[in-house]
Amino acid sequence: MSYKIKSRIWIENNNNVLLGQGRVQLLKAIETTGSLSKAAKSLNISYKKAWRLLDSVNKSAKKPVTINSIGGKGGGGAELTPYGKSLINAFDDINKSCWEFLDQQVEKIKLL
């Protein structure tokens, strides 16, 4: 048999979610597309949901995570701040370490 531990992690600040897998995917999509609207489309979520997720990240973070420019003739845009990029990297490292730990722990079940 092949056992696998399933888990999801997220980071909270005063009961508000700062980061989780969905928020990190959104931030990565913003980095790739340069736009919240395009990021939402690429993730197949509504602009309103994407805006709420990004707003919650920015409200929970110590510093701004994105720099937004208002639309106009050339359209608006969004880009990650260096702090936003460092949050993604930290979350990815934490997530990877968590999975490595859980993979080691499931060995305890396999041995029974």
Mean pLDDT on 15-44:
95
For residue 3, tell me if it sits in a domain. Answer: no
Q: Rounded to two decimals, what is the model's pTM? A: 0.86
Q: Kindly tell me if the per-residue pLDDT of 98 is higher than 90.
A: yes
Residues of the chain above pLDDT 90, percent: 69
H-type alpha helices, 1-112? 21-33, 36-43, 47-60, 82-105, 107-110
Q: Which domain holds residue 84?
A: 17-110
Question: What CATH number corresponds to the domain at position 104?
Answer: 1.10.10.10
Residue 73 pLDDT exceeds 80:
no
Is residue 5 one of the residues assigned to a domain? no
The number of distinct structural domains making up the chain is 1
In a domain, 11, yes or no: no
Burial class (CB in 10 A: 0-12, 13-18, 19+), 57: buried
User: Has residue 9 been placed in a domain?
Assistant: no
For the chain, the average pLDDT equals 90
